[in-house]
Amino acid sequence: MQKHWWHKATIYQIYPKSFMDANGDGIGDLKGITSKLDYLQKLGITAIWLSPVYQSPMDDNGYDISDYEAIADIFGNMEDMDELLVEANNRGIKIIMDLVVNHTSDEHAWFIEARDHPDSLKRDYYIWRNQPNDLLSVFGGSAWQYDEKSGQYYLHFFSKKQPDLNWENAALRQKIYDMMNFWIAKGIGGFRMDVIDMIGKIPDQKISGNGPKLHDYIKEMNQATFGQHDLLTVGETWGATPEIAKRYSNPEGQELSMVFQFEHIGLQHKPDTPKWDYEKELDVPALKKIFEKWQTDLELTQGWNSLFWDNHDLPRVLSIWGNTGIYRQKSSKALAILLHLMRGTPYIYQGEEIGMTNYPFASLEEINDIESLNYAQEALGKGKTKEQIMNSIRMIGRDNARTPMQWNDTDQAGFSAAKSTWLPVNPNYKDINAAAALADPDSIFYTYQKLVQLRKGEDWLIDADFELLETPDKVFAYKRSLAAESYLIAVNLSDEEQSVELTDSYKDTIISNTDEDQALTSHKLQPWDAFCVRLG
Ligand code: GLC
Ligand code: CA
C-alpha cells in the first residue's frame, strides 16, 4: 500500500470565530490564527482543518457560503489568508479547507440569480418543486421553503438560508471543481468535505444521504481536482458503515483519503432518538464493539479511519464521557491515549488539548447556534419545559464546543481585547488555559504533544493489527501487533478501581498517565488509568 503523509499526521481543527481575536472585535479572525501558529507548532500537529472562513452571512457560522473565493470580513481578507498559508507552511503545517458544497448561502450570487430569474441557467443549480413533500430539515421543520416570485419551493436540508445545490447539473459541478482548483493552486493541504454524503440526494424519492450517484460524483471530483496532488481529503459522513467507508477510502478507488464515521458519537444519545435525548452514561461495552468493528473491518488495504472525539458540532467529550471534576486531567489524557493509538488519522479539536469543558449555559439568551435555537422553539411547542430544554442544550448543544479558546488567565482568557465576545468565555478559564498547561510539564497538553510525536515516529501505529482484549466492562484494552512486536493499550474508563490481569511482563512504556508498573503487577487499574507498553 502506498503511504501518504496523512498516515502519520495529526490534524488540529480550528473554529475561526473562537480561536483568537487579533483586532479586538470579540470574534476570532485569520490574523489571530496566524499569531498562534507557534503554539500549534509546539503541539506538533501536521495540519489545521480550518472551519469555513469564506464570505458568509453567518446564519450557520460560515457553513452558509455566499462567495467561495472571498474571505468573510469578520475574519479578514484574502491577504490574511495567504499570509496564514505562508506562515503555516513555514512551520511545516498544512491548511485543510472546509469544502461546503452540498448547499450555498441564499445570498450566493448563483442563488440570487436563480431566484430572481427563474429562466436563468442558474435556476437548475438548485432544487425547485411545485409541491413540497414531507422531507425534514436537519435543523427542524420542513426542508422546503416557498418562493413568492416563482410560486415554487426550494430544497434546504439545513437552514432556509442554506439552499441545496443540484449536483445533477454538470455546469454546476464544473464550477465547484474550478473553485476547488483555485484553492489547490494556493497550496492548501486538502479538504474536509461538509455533509458530502448528501450530494447524491434524490428528494423526490426522499433520499438524502448515500444517493446512487454519490460515488460517481466523488470520483469525478477527484479526477477534476485533488486527484493529481497529494492532498488529504476527509468526508463528513454521518451514516457511514465500514462497508460505505471502504467505498470512499479504498486506496484503489480514487475517491477520498478517509471519512469521519459517527457511530461512536451515536452513543451520546439513546438509540433511535434525536440527539437531544442525551445519554451521559457511557456504554463502554458498546463503545468497545464499535471501535473493534471499525479497526478490524477497515483493513489497511481496504480503507483508512479517522479518529476523533470532538468537533465544532459536538459537546466536549470530557463533559459527556470524561470527568470534569478531580479526574479532569487524568480522564482527558485517558481518552486521548485510548483514541490516538488506534489505526487512523487522529483529529484534535481546539481546546481539547488543554481539557476545555462544556459551558454552563443558563438560558436561551446565551445561545447562538441555529440548531439549538430551532430545537428550543420546536420543543417548547411540543410542551417541553424550559429546564428540560436547557438541560439538553447544556449537555449536547453545539455552542459548547464554540466558546472562545482559553489562552491564559487574563480578561476574556486572552482570546480578545473586547469587553464582550461573540460567545462568552467559559468561567473556568482561570484554571483551564493554554498558558497554565504549557507551564506544567505534567499537563494534558504534553500528553497530546507526545501522542502527536508517536504518530509521526512509530510505524506500527499505521501497520499493526488491532485486537480487542476481553476485560471487565469499564476497561478498554487492546493489543496492536506487527510481526514479532506487540503493544498493549489499557484504559480504565471509570471513576472506580478495576481489577484486571493484563500481562506479567513488558519491555518498556510508550506513554502513560499513571504508574503502569504498579497497575500491571497489582492487577488493578486506578480511576482513569491509561497506558501503552511494548510487550515481550
Ligand atoms: C455539517 C457541519 C455543521 C453544519 C452543517 C451544514 O454538519 O459540520 O456545522 O451546520 O454541516 O453545513
Ligand atoms: Ca476579530
Residues with CB under 5 A from ligand 2 (ion): 21, 23, 25, 27, 29
pLDDT greater than 90 at residue 445: yes
Condensed to tens digits (0 to 9), the pLDDT of residues 211-236 reads 999 999 999 999 999 999 999 999 99
Which protein residue's CA is at the shortest distance from atom 12 of ligand 1?
63
Q: What is the pLDDT of residues 254-309, one digit of tens each?
A: 999 999 999 999 999 999 899 999 999 999 999 999 999 999 999 888 999 999 99
Predicted pLDDT of residue 239? 92
pLDDT of residue 425: 98
**According to the model, what pLDDT value does residue 235 have?**
98
Where does the pLDDT of residue 1 fall: very low under 50, low under 70, confident under 90, or very high at 90 and above?
Answer: confident
Is 508 one of the annotated active-site residues of the chain?
no
pLDDT at 442 over 90: yes
pLDDT of residue 322: 98
- Measured in angstroms, how far is the CA atom of residue 528 from the centroid of ligand 2? 38
Long-range contacts of 55-60 (CB under 8 A, 24+ apart): 56/105, 57/105, 57/107, 57/161, 59/105, 59/159, 59/161, 59/162, 59/370, 60/158, 60/159, 60/161, 60/162, 60/370
The string of pLDDT tens digits covering residues 70-103 is 999 999 999 999 999 999 999 999 999 999 999 9
Beta-carbon contacts of residue 176 (< 8 Å; ≥ 6 apart): 101, 165, 221
Contact of 36 with 20, CB cutoff 8 Å: yes
Is 194 among the catalytic positions?
Answer: yes
CA 466 distance to own-chain centroid: 24
| C-alpha cell belonging to residue 362 | 443558563
Cα–Cα distance for residue pair 48/61, rounded to 1 Å: 18
Cβ–ligand 1 distance for 313 under 6 Å, the answer: yes
pLDDT digits (tens, 9 = 90+) for 91-144: 999 999 999 999 999 999 999 999 999 999 999 999 999 999 999 999 999 999
Q: How does residue 536 score in pLDDT terms, banded at 50, 70 and 90?
A: confident
**In the predicted structure, residue 520 carries a pLDDT above the cut 90:** yes
Residue 100 CB–ligand 1 contact under 6 Å: yes
Check 194, 255, 352, 399 and give the catalytic one. Answer: 194
Atom of ligand 1 nearest to the CA of 103: 12
Ligand 1, atom 5, lies closest to the CA of: 63
pLDDT, position 498: 98
* 214-224 and 242-249 helices, crossing angle to 10°: 30
Question: What's residue 402's pLDDT?
Answer: 98
Are 306 and 259 in contact, with CB atoms under 8 Å apart? Answer: yes
Of all residues in the chain, the percent with pLDDT exceeding 70 is: 100
Determine which one of 64, 106, 236, 369 is catalytic. Answer: 236
Average pLDDT over residues 456-476: 97
Across the chain, mean pLDDT equals: 97
DSSP bridge partners of 151: none
CA 510 to ligand 1 centroid distance, Å:
37
Backbone φ and ψ of 82, nearest 5°:
-65, -40
pLDDT confidence of residue 504: 86
Question: What pLDDT digit, counting tens, does each position of 321-346 carry?
Answer: 999 999 999 999 999 999 999 999 99
Dump pLDDT digits (tens) for 366-405: 999 999 999 999 999 999 999 999 999 999 999 999 999 9
Q: Tell me how far the alpha carbon of residue 63 lies from the centroid of ligand 1, in angstroms.
A: 6
- The predicted pLDDT at position 444 comes to 98
User: Is 525 a residue whose pLDDT tops 90?
Assistant: yes
Q: Summarize the confidence of residues 502-521 as an average pLDDT.
A: 97
pTM value? 0.98
pLDDT at 232: 98
